[in-house]
Amino acid sequence: MHAHILVIEDTKEMAELVALYLQKEGMTVETVETAEEGLGRLQQSPFDLIVLDINLPGMDGFQFLTHLRREYSIPVLIVSARNEDEDIITGLGYGADEFVTKPFSPKVLVARIRALLRRIQEKEVKGYKEGSVFTFGPFTLYTESCVLRKGEEIIHLSTKEYGVLEYLARHSGKPKSPEAIYNAVWKNTYGDLTTVAVYIQRLRKKIEEDPANPQYIETVHGMGYRFNPSGNSFEPGANNQ
């Protein structure tokens, strides 16, 4: 099973053991020792699943989950020596999908991860509905399951990235101001509108062949942003920087 896994574990021997067994299953694994490093890696690369220890130096696993769930819907499997019911309930309540207690069998852990990845994939497939699909270039946006695919590849989007893209797609061809986008996605009439430009740039890096010369998310000066599913400029000489 191909998957990109992030292991956040401060015990080096444990991280290496988990990585070894996952790599034997054909998965790509990256390991970090702190939650802060984990959040940094998420900004740089998409992951299909996170294996998370709770007892970490600095930010602990529960705090990491709080930050993670503000932006990402990536499945999380907690691996922890804390096996009290309260810890398990807390971990699941903070947004973890599975909880495995130490000590554990590496083979059982791999089986749990495979099963979790299958459940997520099956849920995504079942969520696809014809009336809730936007296609542009090689991409398909499934609004029922909040999934963006490029061919067979899933393009990972944060909650707000998805919200911006869906809002623009639902209003294809119509310029939308930063105020309108912010109100619709952040559900707030007050806030820093430069946030919208930041998320537009993040989206362009994920869907545009050349983010500096975007085809799908155009800038309409003095008006805002316009989604162009055809990838062809609406007007001659349009400046989309």
Q: Are residues 45 and 110 in the same domain?
A: yes
93-109: average pLDDT:
85
For the segment 12-34, what is each residue's pLDDT rounded down to a tens digit? 999 999 999 999 999 999 999 99
What residues contact residue 199 under an 8 Å CB cut-off, 6+ apart? 160, 161, 164
72 shares a domain with 55:
yes
Same domain, 182 and 219: yes
- How much is the pTM? 0.54
112-116, 133-137, 177-181: range with highest mean pLDDT: 177-181
Q: Count CB neighbours of 85 within 10 A.
A: 7
Residues 14 and 90 reside in one and the same domain = yes
Rounded mean pLDDT of the chain?
Answer: 85
| pLDDT higher than 90, residue 124 | no
Contact indicator for 87, 53 with CB cutoff of 8 Å: no
SS3 of 16-27: the string is: HHHHHHHHHCCC
Domain match, 14 and 117 both = yes
> Domain check: are 57 and 123 in the same one?
yes
CATH number where 163 lies: 1.10.10.10
Reported as a pLDDT band with limits 50, 70 and 90, residue 122 is: low
Q: Point out the domain boundary residue: 79, 108, 127.
A: 127
User: What tens digit of pLDDT does each residue of 184-224 get?
Assistant: 988 876 677 888 999 999 999 999 999 999 999 999 999 99
pLDDT, tens digit (0-9, with 9 covering 90-100), for 44-77: 888 999 999 999 999 999 999 988 887 777 889 9
Helix (H) or strand (E) holding 182: helix 178-186
Domain annotation covers residue 238: no
Query: The domain spanning residue 80 has which CATH number?
Result: 3.40.50.2300
pLDDT at 190: 67
